[in-house]
């Protein structure tokens, strides 16, 4: 079956770095997405990886290892506004997104 695993909740300190891991099992693979969702709002796109390696975009970076079925989202210089849920989603061979349950990130001052 198809499955996405990510931690339910993480806590970090303002100004620090946090890494949110995601493992996936899909029928075929066409890329891995990370989305940010604040409470009561729709998800917003953060990153897309289809090749192995690290993609850096400002304070956020995303890493993919296709052979390991593994990705992580790295958030640097954490700010209070980064408190949100982070959703990992893998695209299968039918170009459908398989969603993880999301990781709630709590930032403490």
Partner 1 sequence: GAVVSQHPSWVICKSGTSVKIECRSLDFQATTMFWYRQFPKQSLMLMATSNEGSKATYEQGVEKDKFLINHASLTLSTLTVTSAHPEDSSFYICSARGGTSGSDSYEQYFGPGTRLTVT
Interface with partner 1 (CB under 8 A): 30-31, 33, 35, 40-45, 48, 50, 87, 91, 95-97, 99-102
Shortest distance in whole angstroms from residue 104 CB to partner 1: 8
Shortest distance in whole angstroms from residue 56 CB to partner 1: 15
Shortest distance in whole angstroms from residue 15 CB to partner 1: 27
For partner 1, give the closer residue by CB, 80 or 95: 95
Q: Which residues contact 16 (CB under 8 A, 6 or more apart)?
A: 78
For partner 1, give the closer residue by CB, 49 or 69: 49
For partner 1, give the closer residue by CB, 46 or 77: 46
């Amino acid at each position: 079956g198809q499955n996405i695993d990510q931690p339910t909740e993480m806590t970090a300190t303002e100004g620090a770095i946090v890494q949110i891991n995601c493992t996936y099992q899909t029928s075929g693979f066409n890329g891995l997405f990370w989305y940010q969702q604040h409470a009561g709002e729709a998800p917003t796109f953060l990153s897309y990886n289809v090749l192995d390696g690290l993609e850096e975009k400002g304070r956020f970076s995303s890493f993919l290892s296709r052979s390991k079925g593994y990705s992580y989202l790295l958030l640097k210089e954490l700010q209070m506004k980064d408190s949100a849920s982070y959703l990992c989603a893998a695209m299968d061979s039918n170009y459908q997104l398989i969603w993880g349950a999301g990781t709630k990130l709590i930032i403490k001052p």
